[in-house]
Amino acid sequence: MCSSLHQIRDVNNIDSLISQNDPKYITSLGRSILNLTRIIPHGMLVFFPSYPIMKNCHEKWQNDGIWSKIAEIKAIFVEPQNKECFLAAMTDYYAKVDDPNCRGACFMAVTRGKVSEGLDFADMNGRAVIVTGLPFPPLKEPRVMLKRQYLDEARAKNNEGLSGSAWYQLEASRAVNQAVGRVIRHANDYGAILLCDTRFDNPTFKKELSVWLQPFIKTFKNFGEITKDVSCFFRAAAKMVI
C-alpha cells in the first residue's frame, strides 16, 4: 500500500513546515511515527530530507519524550555518516528485526544517504517506509544554482529539454523513488509506504513516482483513517503469505 497524508495528528497541510523547523509539526510528526510504530510489524524505515532536519527531529523528540516511547516498542537506529559506524548499525538493525524477543526495529535515515541508495530491506527487514518530506537539493548550493541556470539557458536557446525548475523537482522525486524502492524487493514481498507531504498529492509529483507505485496511492486527510487502513493492510498481508 502507498498512502499520501494531508494531516499528521493535529497539523493540516503538511509540506514545507519541516524545512522551517516548525516545533508543532515536528512534535506531531514524532507522535504519528510513534503511533505507526505500534501497528507496523518488524522493520521500518523513516526517511528525512537531510541530516540537519533528521538531527533537529531527533533532538526535539528526545526532549518531548517521544524518542524513548518509540524505543520502548522498537529499537531505534540513526544513520551515521561514518562508514564503519554505518556497517555496525546495519548489522545491529538486522539482528533486532530477527530477534523474536523484540518487536522489530526502526531505522532513521536520509534520502540520498547510504540506506536509500543500495541496501536491501526485503521481507521483515522493511515492512514500511515513512517519507517525512520532499528531499529537494539545497537551493542555494552552487552546483544546484549552476545546473538550474544552465538548463534554463539551454531551454531558452533550443526551446526543448528540462527547465531548471523541472529538473529540481525531478531530483526530489528520484530521491523518493530510491528510498521507497528499498522495501518491495521481490514478487511476494509486501510493505506500506507513507508519504507525509501534501505535495505528493500534486498530479505532477504523482506522475514522477515509480510506475509500479502509482496505482496503489491513497490520500488520507485524517490520521485516524491511515492507522486503521495500515492495520487492516498488515492483517490481510500476513494471512496471504501464510
If one compares 157 and 18, the residue with the highest pLDDT of the two is 157
Domains recognised in the chain with CATH numbers: 2-235 (3.40.50.300)
User: How high is the pLDDT of residue 4?
Assistant: 64
- Per-chain mean pLDDT for the chain: 88
User: How high is the pLDDT of residue 204?
Assistant: 86
Mean pLDDT check: name the lowest of 69-73, 134-138, 169-173, 198-202: 198-202
In this prediction, what percent of the chain has a pLDDT beyond 70?
Answer: 91
DSSP codes joined into one string, 79-148: --SSHHHHHHHHHHHHHHHH-TTS--EEEEEETTSHHHHH----GGG-SEEEE-S--PPPTT-HHHHHHH
Q: Tens of pLDDT along 4-62?
A: 665 454 444 445 545 457 888 899 999 999 999 999 999 999 999 999 999 999 999 99
| Average confidence (pLDDT) over 168-180 | 92
CA distance 59 to 71: 14
Residue 73 pLDDT class (50, 70, 90 cuts): very high
Q: Tens of pLDDT along 178-227?
A: 999 888 888 888 999 999 888 888 888 888 999 988 888 888 888 888 99
Strands, E, within the chain: which ranges? Answer: 2-5, 7-8, 11-12, 43-48, 75-78, 105-110, 128-131, 192-195, 217-220
| Average confidence (pLDDT) over 162-173 | 93
User: How high is the pLDDT of residue 12?
Assistant: 44
